[in-house]
């Protein structure tokens, strides 16, 4: 699945906000669908970051040149960021990570609203709902420094009565 991008790639290439984490079990480490895990030949549905000078990096990140080595085939979670799927009890929301400097002052723009409309459609498509129904742990609960955008009601109905995320 390939998503249209909102953040300009050239901005990301000069930013140091993504692909690195403060600890090895950070909630921000990307989550994978079973299909992505198999494609990347990994054993679990999250990545195991590599520690370098007190920072944990995604194993697919080129630290010297600041880019993703699998950019064209990067997982959906990476394509989605700085938008995230967030679970609040049994409701699923699209949220935005306030730490992304690109998006901070663009949340009120027409372009952003149009992009959210696009994501809402794609992430509530039959195809995506089927994908989530086989990968419930793909959606977790992030800390409070994310801003809620919209509830994805079709996804919420999938989680109605489901147990809280184990993450």
Among the candidate windows 96-104, 114-122, 140-148, 149-157, which touches ligand SF4 by CB under 6 A?
A: 96-104
Unique residue bearing structure tokens 């109905």 = 157
Distance between CA atoms of residues 130 and 154, nearest Å: 11
# binding residues, ligand SF4 (CB under 6 A): 20
78 binds ligand SF4 (CB under 6 A): yes
Ramachandran angles phi, psi of 25, nearest 5°: -115, 25
Q: How far is residue 48's CA from residue 33's CA, in Å, rounded to a whole number?
A: 15
CB closer to ligand SF4, 81 vs 138: 81
In the complex, which residue's CB is closest to ligand SF4? Answer: 17
Quick one: which segment of 73-81, 86-94, 118-126, 127-135 binds ligand SF4 (CB under 6 A)? 73-81
What minimum distance in Å lies between the beta carbon of 158 and ligand SF4?
Answer: 25
Binder to ligand SF4 among 56, 60, 138, 159 (CB under 6 A)?
Answer: 60
Gap between the Cα atoms of 134 and 149, Å rounded: 25
Residue 66 Cα to chain centre, angstroms: 19
């Amino acid at each position: 699945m390939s998503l249209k991008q909102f953040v300009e790639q050239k901005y990301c290439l000069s930013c140091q906000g993504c692909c690195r984490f403060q600890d090895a079990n950070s909630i921000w480490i990307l989550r994978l669908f079973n299909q992505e895990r198999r494609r990347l030949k990994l054993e679990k549905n999250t990545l195991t970051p590599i520690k370098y000078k007190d920072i944990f990096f995604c194993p697919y990140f080129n630290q010297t040149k600041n880019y993703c080595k699998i950019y064209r085939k990067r997982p959906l979670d990476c394509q989605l960021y700085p938008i995230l799927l967030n679970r609040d009890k049994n409701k699923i929301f699209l949220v935005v990570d306030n730490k992304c400097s690109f998006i901070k002052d663009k949340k009120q723009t027409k372009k952003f609203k149009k992009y959210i409309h696009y994501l809402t459609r794609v992430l509530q498509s039959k195809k995506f709902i089927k994908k989530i129904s086989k990968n419930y742990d793909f959606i977790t609960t992030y800390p409070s420094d994310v801003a809620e955008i919209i509830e994805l009601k079709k996804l919420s109905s999938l989680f109605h009565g489901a147990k809280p995320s184990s993450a």
